[in-house]
Structure 1
């Protein structure tokens, strides 16, 4: 099978899967736990500004998360869940 044929087969299978057709694909649902951002930050001992900088978000974003106006999603939620399990992670990796 040529590279073109392989790509076309993959695209066809992806479209079938997106349309709900059973193509025998393995689907993995990854559940990332909800996080308490204020408690996680407190466990690190960092100020809001320092913690926001250490995880690469604006301080305003962190404030919105801590006050419940917004919730972290995607990579931010995963990173925060990791820090919740090991608060020293930030200082170990960035210190």
Structure 2
């Protein structure tokens, strides 16, 4: 049967085996890869990519217009959660629009 499983499939199976072992108490079974939020985001580039004014962008994604302006002028840096949101908006704007139930 192993001939029928490609490398990606085997990787998934190995990962699931690790999760099962970890859940059964084997603390060494799973590799924890630390995730770190982006340290910076180019807010203006994200907004321009979507073809939106500052006012439109702020309203569409529930951001304060003054904060948006400060980020774009490098007067302030978005907090961690906001950097994550902006990264998702940059990579998957339609998913964010869908999740927020906006046109």
Q: Give the TM-score taking structure 2 as reference length.
A: 0.57
Structure 1 runs of 4+ with >3 Å offset: 87-93
CA RMSD after TM alignment:
2.3
Q: Give the TM-score taking structure 1 as reference length.
A: 0.61
Q: 1:64 aligns with which of 55, 60, 70?
A: 70
Provide structure 2 residue ranges, at least 5 long, that are not aligned to the other structure: 1-26
1: CA distance between counterparts of 2:94 and 2:48? 12
The one of the two structures with greater contact order (alpha-carbon pairs below 8 A, sep at least 6) is 1
Provide structure 1 residue ranges, at least 5 long, that are not aligned to the other structure: 1-23
Moved more, 56-65 or 79-88: 79-88
Deviations 1:2-46 (CA, angstroms, capped at 9, x unpaired): xxxxxxxxxxxxxxxxxxxxxx8xx87421222100000101111
Q: How many residues align structurally? A: 71
